[in-house]
Amino acid sequence: MSALFSPYRLGDLALVNRIVIAPMCQYSAEDGNATDWHRIHLGNLALSGAALLIIEATAVTPEGRISPADLGLWSDANAAALGSTLDSLRRYSSMPVAVQLAHAGRKASSHLPWEGGQLIPLGAGGWDTVAPSPLPHGADERAPLALDDAGLLRVRDAFVAAARRAAAIGIDAVELHAAHGYLLHQFLSPLSNIRSDAYGGSLENRLRFPLEVFDAVRAVFPAGKPVGIRISATDWVDGGWDLEQSIAFSQALKARGCDFIHVSSGGLSPRQQITLAPGYQLPFAERIRAETGLPTVAVGLITEAEHAEAIVASGQADLVGVARVMLYDPRWPWHAAAKLGAKVHAAPQYWRCQPRGLPDLFADARVGQR
């Protein structure tokens, strides 16, 4: 049997294989509300044969958006729009759906990527950003406002409210975004956190706010439904956040009931130095898994079925996250199953398309996942 297509469990959530569709920002929401683009985009991915679909970074406050077009869950209107989209998906797919709850911190108030991605000026539709410390992401950007105690409480409570809304619309799992230089990552890294209070300085202090957010979300999201986290295992900058600190963070998360660690890297500093190659982040996922025993999701230029198979078969990670390759080839799990001699879940409307040489490729996508 293919290791990649073997079943797995996260908490009470049964997964039919080890393929996770990682979050991919679409910058296509209106006032945080999902649009027809999300219905088309997520519907397409829900028919791909993967085991779990994680919805893009979803802002817990308006000022926590990366761009004005980010998806949100800060309001009941946001929840109603996303819930309607999920209802459409569930008519035709039983694939579990998670959401990545996020706050961009000092990287908020930015133009869309295809419009350059720069910080939007205050007089041109931008807004004041917040962070652990008044340090801008780029040297030529305006500084964020440092969060005071009341601000920390507002952000934590916003994560809680978003998690409650996610539960109310039937989201199957939550992933907290503590990677890629966004707010929770900003608290973790000594490059962005120079506070002198209980939330800065020592590693214990820098972990404090992200752990408080995790505890608060775990407390309100239904028991048995997974709550995990995405981290950047390293800043790729000397003196910044690194793998050893990531292991300590992961161990603290495990003690609090974290269900999985989604292991990425970078994004905090323009000074990062990364050498890209297929699986370049795998050593981080493998080490965290070995040191903590937590289920890990490996991600990072994993585009070939044989590579993904080897990752799971060798125990480097429990699950494989695919993102950009899924945009390029939304049937990547079908093609992986064909290469590995496995079955993949597909909607009956598509059964007639399986190649003559692969008559047993498809299983019924309507059953077996929830």
Which amino acids are annotated catalytic? 182
Rounded (5°) CA angle 265-271-275: 50
Q: How many residues would you count in the chain?
A: 370
Straight-line distance from the first to the last Cα atom of the chain, in angstroms, rounded to the nearest whole number: 22
Please give the Cα distance from 361 to 5 (Å, whole number): 12
Cβ atoms of residues 180 and 264 within 8 Å = yes
3-class secondary structure for 51-78? CEEEEEEEECCHHHCCCCCCCECCCHHH
What residues contact 216, with CB distance under 8 A and at least 6 apart? 156, 157, 159, 160
> Which tokens belong to 1?
């049997």
Query: Which among 182, 192, 249, 253 has a CA at the least distance from the CA of 217?
Result: 253
Please give the Cα distance from 228 to 208 (Å, whole number): 17
Please give the Cα distance from 55 to 20 (Å, whole number): 11
**CA distances to 14, 105, 204 from 234, in Å:** 30, 18, 17
Return the amino acid letter for 152.
L
